Amino acid sequence: MEQMLNNLKEEALKAIAAASELGELENIRLACLGKKGQLTAVLRQMGSMPPQERPRLGQLANAVRDALEEALASRREELEAREQEARLAAERVDVTLPGRKPGRGAVHPIMRLRRQIEDIFLGMGYTIEEGPEIEADYYNFVALNIPKHHPARDMQDTFYVGADVLLRTHTSPVQVRAMEKARGKVPLKMICPGKVYRKDDDATHSPMFFQVEGLVIDRGISLADLKGTLLHFVREIFGPGQRIRLRPSFFPFTEPSVEVDILCTACAGAGCRVCKASGWLEILGAGMVHPRVLEMSGYDPGQVSGFAFGLGIDRVAMLKYGIHNIRHLYQNDLRVLKQFQGGLE
């Protein structure tokens, strides 16, 4: 029996030392020390041993159990440490890796142009005004000399929200609001950029688009002031070689009224498909503020005069950046928008 105990110890210690994972070690423990294990089996034979041998054999069996338990515990510790190390190695975070850069956005071409336009006019001493997009019929039409049932209303297909409430079709109502706010004081120099709405939808017309209104009122303002201001503006936007051409036109709130053209941005005036061989492209409507409009908003047309203009930012963006379909400006297609990441001027 002594021999059996010694053999058991020797074999078990070898197996414990060779165990390479915790599961295997647990199997060895059960096989040696478990209820149905080898040591229990050997001890069952104790009864058949001579009584004087039993204490010594009992001590030996306990020593074997202690030795195996100790070996199992220290091997378990080793294996646990090794397994933890392996887990940590697999999950390691490399703190020296460079950080992930957040995706860089870009200012939308319309906003970029709007800010550029604002800067140009701020530089000439204009203030920037705002007005509501949901507007009263009075400000959008009546106070601009377009009474109810006037045929000029057909020029701007209108979204009505209520009886006399609509989505503004242009930024011109802000002229009226600015004049009312100024209470007859001069000089009044303001621009108003903002969204406007019309029942339009094709390659060059969007149901929602952007305009910038401009209004100057002072003593002795003439068409020459309008022309000089617009020439400075288009040269800032399109370059110093740019030119403008004023063509007679009609708006109920200006007299005289003009359409303003610039040299075609595709052919520089030579004549091409873009400008339908004329060499010119229309960019805005303008004129001298109609005396009735001045009067309705508290100014004396005998004392002061003024000019006003309204341009479509979308139209200018399309010309400046060579965008052929206005929908590209509103579809949020990254292939279009990414072209503006680099800070195009």
List of residues contacting ligand FA5 (CB under 6 A) = 156, 170, 172, 198, 200, 205-206, 209, 211, 251, 254, 284-287, 308-312, 314-315, 326
Q: How far lies 109's CA from each of 104, 134, 166, 323, 340, in Å? A: 15, 25, 27, 11, 7
Q: How far is the CB of 183 from ligand FA5 (least distance, A)?
A: 21
Q: Give strand pairing partners of 288.
A: 307
Distance CA 171, CA 199 (A): 16
Distance CA 65, CA 172 (A): 100
Distance CA 214, CA 263 (A): 21
Choice between 94 and 154, CB closer to ligand FA5: 154
Choice between 16 and 296, CB closer to ligand FA5: 296
- Judge contact between 79 and 22, C-beta under 8 A: yes
Q: How far is the CB of 286 from ligand FA5 (least distance, A)?
A: 5
Choice between 28 and 318, CB closer to ligand FA5: 318
Cβ count within 10 A of residue 308: 24
Alpha-carbon torsion angle 260, 263, 266, 267, nearest 10: 150
| Main-chain dihedrals φ then ψ at residue 296, nearest 5 degrees | -60, -25
Q: How far is the CB of 144 from ligand FA5 (least distance, A)?
A: 8
Choice between 108 and 205, CB closer to ligand FA5: 205
Choice between 109 and 310, CB closer to ligand FA5: 310
